[in-house]
């Protein structure tokens, strides 16, 4: 996700006016089970500006559950299977051409969607004699998946793609890979009765829920359908419409409050305002007993039997429900923060590093903390609030929220923060949330700090003293090696050996 960085390295501030027009974000509106979802994929250009407010072109995806008949279920599965066949064929072709290219460099290797599509059209009568039974979009969807996977792999190797290295694409196996197919051309419609949708070759399908959220925008002329993607999850079929929407972006939400948000396992979020902490739904933890029983039952089933298929379907539904509960809690929290407060301050957590702790990995994964900042990024933009992201090394938990004293070490077992300078005793999560809130206030009052030759903030900190950068062994107490006395919340402490 592309995100602009402003100010010193300790902060990443996201403001309504500073977000890029090509900012890639994601959104889901109307969560849980069968409710309609809206996934914002990209922001378009600002097309109108009036007194601080703007109309922005946003690409969203509205997802609805389907109630297909038995015949329509077979047609949906057939299209997903055709996409999988085209994907595997394209990947096998690329691997074979790569081997031939090493022997004879003049042999071309199809790497893009147009090249793969040309080769497919030449050989589809031999590879898949039944190709006419499905829409051409099914095969194009599978080939597009190969082209995207190859591009991600090559960009990752060359350094153009950020993040963890991407491996070479692998073949998809029936029953293992996710069933999905994308339509970009043809009759893609949301019918006026708001209970049915239409897809190429498959025809008219009944939706499990009302499509009024999307139908209203289509009737008003503020939305345009670009594509439709069908997918199967826990033996239920869904359709996701990728839509260009004209969305009103307010200049401000009229709120002046600043809230610091400290997330964790015990509580999903602790706010600096002193409100009741948001409880963690613990969706997976509440289903562990049932999951263990069903996994034992699955191990006793004969492979390929009907009862084994039924048990697998029950397992998938439990996992799906846990994911829906987790997603619903995150969306309710982030929407409340973006609407009720003018500035929201969160931490930039290293989730990938935290889950390496095998004792906390399952509990951390069950909270879904990685999506919190991801959701707040676009919701604060949509609702007119601001998002401030503190650096991952900012000591919000170890810093006293009253005087600014920094504790050298604070273990996870210590749930109460005790300040040795002013004697404050406070819950560690609430203390961290208050420090995050003060962080935004300090930035708003003093602006972005400059640094001197020693790398220390020139402006004084909250306690009125400049942050110190000491060599190892020069702490102000003999037993506190390298401890900084009073630090501005915007500075990062780096011990030098």
> Would you please indicate which residues are annotated as catalytic (active-site) residues?
262, 347, 429
**Residue positions counted in the chain:** 497
Angle 16-17-23 (CA atoms, 0-180°, nearest 5)? 70
Q: Enumerate long-range contacts of 38-42, CB under 8 Å, 24 or more apart.
A: 38/62, 38/63, 38/213, 39/63, 39/240, 40/378, 41/242
Sign of the alpha-carbon dihedral angle for 319, 325, 328, 334: negative
Kindly provide the residue ranges of all beta strands, DSSP E only, lying in 207-266, ordered along the sequence. Answer: 223-233, 236-249, 258-263
Contact 260, 247 (CB under 8 A): no
How far from the centroid of its chain's Cα atoms is residue 125's Cα?
41
Q: Rounding to the nearest 10 degrees, give the CA dihedral for residues 20, 21, 26, 31.
A: 120
Contact 11, 389 (CB under 8 A): yes
Distance between CA atoms of residues 334 and 351, nearest Å: 18
> Which residues on adjacent β-strands are paired with residue 14?
387
CB proximity list for 233: less than 8 A, separation 6 or greater: 178, 316, 320
Q: Rounding to the nearest 10 degrees, give the CA dihedral for residues 258, 264, 269, 271.
A: -40
């Amino acid at each position: 996700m592309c995100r602009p960085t402003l100010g010193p390295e300790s902060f990443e501030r996201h403001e309504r006016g500073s977000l890029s027009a090509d900012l890639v974000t994601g959104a889901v509106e109307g969560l849980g089970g069968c409710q309609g979802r809206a996934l914002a994929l990209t922001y378009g250009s600002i097309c109108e500006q009036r007194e601080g407010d703007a109309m922005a072109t946003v690409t969203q995806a509205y997802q609805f559950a389907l109630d297909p008949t038995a015949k329509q279920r077979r047609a949906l599965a057939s299209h997903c299977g055709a996409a999988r066949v085209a994907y595997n064929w394209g990947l096998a072709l690329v691997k074979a051409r790569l081997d031939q290219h090493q022997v004879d460099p003049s042999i071309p290797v199809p790497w893009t969607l147009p090249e793969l599509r040309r080769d497919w059209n030449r050989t589809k009568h031999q590879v898949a004699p039944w190709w006419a039974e499905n829409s051409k979009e099914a095969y194009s969807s599978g080939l597009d998946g190969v082209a995207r996977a190859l591009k991600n792999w090559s960009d990752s190797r060359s350094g153009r793609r950020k993040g963890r290295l991407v491996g070479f694409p692998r073949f998809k196996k029936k029953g293992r890979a996710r069933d999905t197919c994308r339509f970009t051309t043809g009759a893609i419609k949301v019918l006026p009765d708001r209970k049915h949708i239409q897809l190429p070759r498959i025809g008219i399908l009944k939706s499990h829920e009302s499509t009024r959220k999307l139908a209203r925008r289509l009737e008003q002329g503020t939305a345009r359908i670009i594509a439709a993607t069908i997918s199967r999850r826990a033996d239920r079929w869904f359709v996701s419409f990728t839509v260009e929407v004209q969305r009103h972006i307010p200049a401000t939400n009229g709120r002046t409050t600043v809230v610091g948000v400290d997330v964790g396992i015990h509580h999903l979020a602790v706010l600096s305002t002193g409100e009741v902490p948001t409880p963690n739904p613990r969706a997976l933890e509440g289903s562990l007993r049932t999951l263990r029983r069903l996994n034992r039952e699955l191990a006793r089933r004969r492979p390929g039997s009907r009862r084994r298929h039924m048990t697998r379907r029950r397992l998938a539904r439990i996992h799906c429900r846990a994911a829906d509960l987790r997603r619903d809690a995150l969306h309710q929290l982030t929407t409340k923060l973006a609407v009720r407060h003018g500035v929201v301050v969160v931490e930039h957590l290293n989730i990938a590093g935290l889950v390496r702790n095998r004792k906390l990995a399952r509990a951390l994964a069950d909270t879904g903390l990685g999506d919190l900042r991801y959701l707040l990024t676009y919701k604060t933009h949509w609702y007119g609030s601001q998002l401030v992201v503190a650096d991952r090394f900012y000591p919000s938990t170890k810093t006293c929220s009253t005087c600014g004293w920094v504790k050298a070490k604070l273990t996870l077992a210590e749930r109460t923060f005790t300040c040795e300078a002013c004697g404050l005793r406070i819950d560690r999560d609430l203390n961290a949330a208050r420090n995050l809130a003060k962080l935004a206030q300090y930035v708003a009052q003093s602006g972005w700090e400059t640094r001197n030759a020693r790398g220390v903030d020139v402006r004084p900190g909250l306690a009125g003293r400049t942050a110190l950068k000491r060599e190892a062994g020069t702490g102000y107490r003999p037993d506190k090696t390298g401890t900084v006395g009073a630090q501005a919340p915007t500075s990062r402490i780096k011990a030098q050996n």
